[in-house]
């Protein structure tokens, strides 16, 4: 098609997962003005949006159907690579756009699974550990995003537990494995907190906190994730104490509750940004840090409530 005979529109697909271009001869659909042509392209773009999660063959077949309907139109679609999708997903997450980050993460996981399935189909058992590691990270991140959105919690637990099992194949003494295990346990704890399953939340988060302390001893620690674990664990401890007190302290001593409350208070105190490991100034507005501080404040309110209830019981 000659440039002067074309009407052209370009559409960025949602989440910057790719782009769609539509070229139409001027004499094709002469009754459509430029705004109406744009709306048609937008409709096509929205339709193809869902196809990004499908396999390439299905997407190409769909494009061929449109191409046969619009014989004088040239339609092309471009897909971003996994590294680009990871970058866009992380950017969306840092900006608090958890829904878009979730969509991108699901797309990344779909692409990874396609790579693994292709290797299995070709009897190629030598699957790169980097691919499995990325699969584990994606499963965990999707679970964590469900905890941020407060939806599909049971499904999030299922995915995160799969990630935890897959990680068993890696070297447990490696710092990268320890860090990923910590992230998975943090996610499990966050999801259990939403379900108000305080006991399982404490088990997961207590182990995550032990892993964090091990990483600190190795000089490898993320200042933000460390505080998230502390705030979540403290939050789960005080709410578990509150539940026990409300149920009449059955099978639990007052002394053990006081010890748990003290542990929770100590954990909350470590969330302060000037405590070791000190938070760099450039990260003070990080949304995850702000979430840790917010949970710490709510946890301290519950801490005070439980202490008052215990004091009444001791009188």
CA-to-CA distance for 89 and 102, rounded, in angstroms?
8
The strand pairing partners of 22, in sequence order, are: 9, 75
Q: Is the pLDDT of residue 190 over 90?
A: yes
pLDDT the model gives residue 204:
98
pLDDT the model gives residue 105:
94
The predicted model gives 256-283 an average pLDDT of 94
pLDDT the model gives residue 289:
95
Confidence of residue 30 (pLDDT cuts 50, 70, 90): low
- Predicted confidence (pLDDT) per residue in 45-96, tens digit: 666 665 554 556 666 776 676 667 666 666 666 677 889 889 989 999 999 9
pLDDT the model gives residue 2:
47
- Predicted confidence (pLDDT) per residue in 206-252, tens digit: 999 999 999 999 999 899 999 999 999 999 999 999 999 998 877 78
State the DSSP string of 196-229: T-HHHHHHHHHHHHHHHHHHHHTT---HHHHHHH
Chain mean pLDDT for the chain: 86
Confidence of residue 126 (pLDDT cuts 50, 70, 90): confident
Q: Is the pLDDT of residue 171 over 70?
A: yes
98-104: list long-range contacts, CB under 8 Å, 24+ apart.
Answer: 98/145, 98/148, 98/149, 99/149, 100/14, 100/15, 101/145, 102/142, 102/145, 102/146, 102/149, 103/14, 103/15, 104/15, 104/17
Q: In which order are the strands placed within the sheet that holds 18-25?
A: 6-12, 18-25, 73-79
Q: Cis peptide leading into 277, omega within 30 of 0?
A: yes
CA-to-CA distance for 148 and 97, rounded, in angstroms?
10
């Amino acid at each position: 098609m000659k440039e002067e005979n074309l009407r052209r529109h370009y559409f960025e697909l949602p989440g910057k997962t790719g782009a769609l271009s539509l070229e139409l001869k001027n004499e094709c659909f002469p009754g459509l003005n430029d705004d109406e042509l744009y709306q048609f392209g937008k409709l096509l773009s929205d339709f193809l949006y869902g196809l990004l999660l499908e396999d390439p063959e299905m997407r190409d077949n769909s494009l061929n159907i449109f191409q046969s309907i619009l014989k004088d139109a040239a339609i092309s679609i471009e897909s971003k690579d996994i590294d680009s999708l990871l970058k866009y997903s992380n950017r969306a997450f840092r900006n608090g756009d958890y829904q878009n980050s979730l969509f991108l993460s699901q797309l990344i996981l779909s692409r990874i699974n396609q790579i693994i399935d292709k290797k299995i189909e070709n009897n190629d058992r030598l699957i790169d550990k980097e691919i499995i590691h990325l699969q584990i990270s994606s499963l965990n991140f999707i679970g964590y995003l469900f905890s941020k959105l407060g939806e599909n919690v049971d499904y999030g637990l299922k995915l995160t537990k799969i990630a935890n099992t897959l990680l068993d194949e890696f070297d447990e003494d490696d710092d990268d494995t320890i860090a990923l295990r910590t992230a998975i346990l943090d996610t499990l704890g966050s999801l259990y907190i939403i379900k108000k399953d305080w006991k399982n939340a404490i088990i997961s988060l207590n182990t995550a906190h032990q892993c964090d302390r091990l990483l600190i001893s190795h000089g490898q620690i993320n200042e933000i994730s460390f505080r998230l674990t502390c705030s979540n664990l403290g939050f789960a401890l005080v709410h578990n104490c509150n539940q026990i007190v409300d149920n009449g302290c059955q099978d639990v001593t007052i002394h053990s509750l006081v010890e748990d409350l003290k542990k929770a208070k100590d954990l909350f105190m470590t969330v302060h940004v000037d405590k070791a490991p000190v938070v760099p100034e450039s990260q003070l507005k990080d949304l995850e840090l702000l979430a840790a501080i917010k949970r710490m404040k709510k946890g301290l309110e519950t801490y005070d409530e439980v202490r008052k209830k215990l004091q009444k019981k001791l009188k």
